[in-house]
Chains A and B, each alone.
Chain A
Amino acid sequence: EAGVAQSPRYKIIEKRQSVAFWCNPISGHATLYWYQQILGQGPKLLIQFQNNGVVDDSQLPKDRFSAERLKGVDSTLKIQPAKLEDSAVYLCASSLGVTAYNSPLHFGNGTRLTVT
């Protein structure tokens, strides 16, 4: 099966600029996650979608971050305006869904964001 697709692979922007990341999950996967991973740390969940509804966005900095999954398939994550501390790898992952409780997450290759 095709894996989780993410783009771009790398992005360098200046602080206060905006940036958007795109993710296409594995076909048939109802749950989609956006994670932020800072070097040397575990992934931090930003937002979790079940189909096109938000399940958990408690750690999403909503003053600058937004995400959508309009048709319940692909998703975009936006940062506006970016800060230096947003420099990280942004990982998209998908899984079959909450009913498949032991369904592992499948991750995309991530977008490495550098904010200067």
Chain B
Amino acid sequence: GQNIDQPTEMTATEGAIVQINCTYQTSGFNGLFWYQQHAGEAPTFLSYNVLDGLEEKGRFSSFLSRSKGYSYLLLKELQMKDSASYLCAVMRKGAGNNRKLIWGLGTSLAVNP
């Protein structure tokens, strides 16, 4: 089957580091995306991983282990504006050339002063 698990809620303090985990089970794995979604707004693209390892983009980094079906999003030097929902989405390659995104339910991160 296809399944994506991530924690429902997390809390962290301004200036700290937080790691949001995502585990997945799917056939035809073809990459993993992280999106940020502020309340009442549309999701915005943060990162994409298709090979094992760490991708760094400023304060945000994303890690992937395909053998473990595991990814995490690392947020450093947390700011109040980082309070949002973080969505993990796995790209699955199906029949023909069709690729489908499977979405997690999102992790709601609250950053406190």
Are A102's CB and B101's CB within 8 A? no
| Closest A residue by C-beta to B91 | A101
B84 within 8 A of A: no
Chain B 25-75 interface residues, beta-carbon cutoff 8 Å to A: 30-31, 33, 41-45, 48, 50
Are B45's CB and A105's CB within 8 A? yes
A42 and B99 in contact, given A102-B48, A104-B45, A106-B45 (Cβ under 8 angstroms): no
A107 and B91 in contact, given A42-B105, A43-B103, A55-B98 (Cβ under 8 angstroms): no
Are A101's CB and B31's CB within 8 A? yes
Which of A41, A44, A91, A105 sits near B106, CB closer than 8 Å? A41
Give the complex CA separation of A22 and B33 in angstroms. Answer: 26
Residues of A near B97 (CB, < 8 A) are 98-99
Main secondary structure of the interface of B (DSSP, over half): strand
Residues of B near A106 (CB, < 8 A) are 45
Per the CB 8 Å criterion, the residue count for chain B at the interface is: 24
A104 and B48 in contact, given A41-B105, A42-B105, A43-B43 (Cβ under 8 angstroms): yes
Residues of B within 8 A of A (CB): 30-31, 33, 41-45, 48, 50, 87, 89, 91, 93, 97-101, 103-106, 108
- Apart from A41-B106, A104-B33, what are 17 other A-B pairs with CB-CB below 8 Å? A40-B105, A40-B106, A40-B108, A42-B104, A43-B87, A45-B100, A56-B100, A91-B42, A98-B97, A101-B30, A102-B48, A104-B48, A105-B33, A105-B101, A107-B43, A109-B41, A109-B42
Residues of A within 8 A of B (CB): 40-45, 48, 55-56, 91, 98-99, 101-102, 104-110
